[in-house]
């Protein structure tokens, strides 16, 4: 980036980060976010973009013949039509931002998030129409719709987070009810020096039983970069990319690590502690363990 470009970027702050050059490390981080690359989306993902807009246009058609009747019908027709226009316009803007490789630094803005507003209003309208014209005041109809719907959502949630209590109420997660990884992270927060540097499997959030609990928030300790959540921040702040890639590369082959590998992490990056899947590895002192997790000092 030349001096003139840097000057322009300074004038455009806080949007100056857009002009930071993309590096190979940054591209590796961005590549982990599949939703940045709309040309790789599956057909059902594109159906999720187009179908709500088509249904909103249908809502408009349903309401239009009644424009001289209730005021609510006029509002429905007006809102449906404007929401379709908004969706089409935002989709065009998103494609302009996401498709050209020269604009790759704009991808972390995630322009397809305009669908959040579309879905919110679409669901509200759909619920109103369903209640007014189908469910009405029939209690049985409401039960026939919402009991299976609620059961299906509960089942899906339990499949996504099977090792975590459905309700995590304060003070109610004692003993065997708490997630084993969460229990280990809480032990770390109470029993290790605050300036400790930890290392975990870079894909620890995806491990069976971990259920995507974040280490930093629960353990309140520093940890080497991971390959699941941290790339999202790196994609937004390119200056973090070299450090992220260095730390992730240093942890490659984690599941085959032995004591010598952990000592290498200590020598290169200053790692003091590691969190491992049980039963751990030989040669490291491990002051905490449970059925799934072992916390060990690197020495």
At 259, list the tokens. Answer: 């004591």
Is the pLDDT at 143 greater than 70? The verdict is yes
Extract the tokens encoding 45.
Answer: 């993902």
Per the CB < 8 A criterion, the answer to whether 109 and 97 are in contact is yes
Per the prediction, the chain carries an average pLDDT of 89
- Is the link from the previous residue into 14 a cis peptide, with omega within 30 of 0? yes
DSSP reduced 3-state for 136: coil
Provide CB contacts within 8 A for 66, sequence distance 6+: 73
Query: What pLDDT, on the 0 to 100 scale, is given for residue 67?
Result: 47
What pLDDT does 245 receive? 95
Over residues 280-296, mean pLDDT? 94
Rounded mean pLDDT, 247-256: 95
Q: What percent of the chain has pLDDT over 70?
A: 89
Question: pLDDT tens for residues 48-103?
Answer: 999 999 999 999 988 876 545 567 778 888 999 999 999 999 999 999 999 988 88
Instruction: Kindly state the average pLDDT of the residues 165-177.
Output: 71
For position 243, what pLDDT does the model report?
Answer: 95
| Alpha-carbon span 167 to 134, nearest angstrom | 33
Q: Between β-strands 293-297 and 273-277, what pairing exists: parallel, antiparallel or unpaired?
A: antiparallel
- Could you give the angle at which helices 43-63 and 115-130 cross, rounded to 10 degrees? 50
Rounded CA-CA distance 198/180 in Å is: 18
3-state secondary structure of 165: coil
Identify the pLDDT of residue 19. 61
Write phi, then psi, for 125 (nearest 5 degrees): -65, -45
- Distances in whole angstroms, Cα of residue 36 to Cα of each of 50, 117, 118, 298: 18, 19, 19, 38
Question: What's residue 178's pLDDT?
Answer: 84
Q: Model pTM?
A: 0.82
For residue range 92-136, what is the model confidence (pLDDT) as tens digits?
999 999 998 888 888 888 999 999 999 999 999 999 999 988 999
Q: Check residue 172 and give its pLDDT.
A: 67
> Looking at residues 14-27, what average pLDDT do you find?
73
Using CA atoms, how far residue 105 sits from 115, 223, 260, in Å, is: 21, 27, 39
How many other β-carbons are positioned within 10 Å of the β-carbon of residue 94? 20
């Amino acid at each position: 980036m030349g001096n003139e470009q840097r000057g322009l970027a300074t004038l455009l702050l806080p949007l100056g980060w857009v002009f930071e050059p993309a590096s190979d490390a940054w591209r590796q981080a961005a590549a982990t976010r599949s939703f940045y690359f709309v040309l790789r989306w599956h057909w059902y993902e594109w159906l999720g973009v187009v179908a709500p807009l088509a249904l909103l246009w249908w809502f408009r058609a349903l309401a239009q013949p009644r424009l001289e009747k209730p005021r609510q019908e006029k509002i429905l027709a007006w809102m449906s039509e404007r929401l379709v226009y908004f969706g089409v316009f935002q989709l065009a803007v998103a494609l302009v931002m996401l498709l050209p490789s020269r604009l790759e630094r704009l991808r972390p803005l995630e322009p397809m998030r305009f669908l959040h507003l579309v879905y919110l209003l679409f669901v509200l309208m759909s619920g109103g129409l369903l209640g007014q014209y189908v469910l009405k005041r029939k209690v049985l109809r409401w039960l026939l719709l919402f009991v299976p719907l609620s059961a299906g959502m509960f089942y899906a949630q339990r499949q996504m987070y099977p090792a975590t209590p459905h309700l995590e109420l304060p003070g109610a997660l004692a003993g065997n009810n708490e997630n084993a990884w969460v229990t280990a992270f809480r032990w770390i927060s109470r029993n290790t020096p605050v300036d400790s540097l930890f290392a975990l499997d870079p894909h620890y959030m995806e491990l069976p039983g971990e259920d995507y609990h974040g280490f930093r928030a629960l353990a309140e300790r520093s940890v080497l970069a991971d390959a699941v959540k941290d790339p999202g921040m790196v994609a937004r702040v390119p200056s973090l990319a070299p450090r992220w890639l260095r730390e992730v590369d240093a942890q490659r082959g984690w599941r085959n690590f032995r004591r010598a590998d952990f000592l290498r992490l200590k020598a290169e990056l200053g790692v003091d502690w590691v969190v491992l899947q049980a039963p751990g590895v030989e040669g490291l002192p491990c002051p905490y363990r449970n059925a799934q997790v072992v916390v060990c000092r690197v020495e």
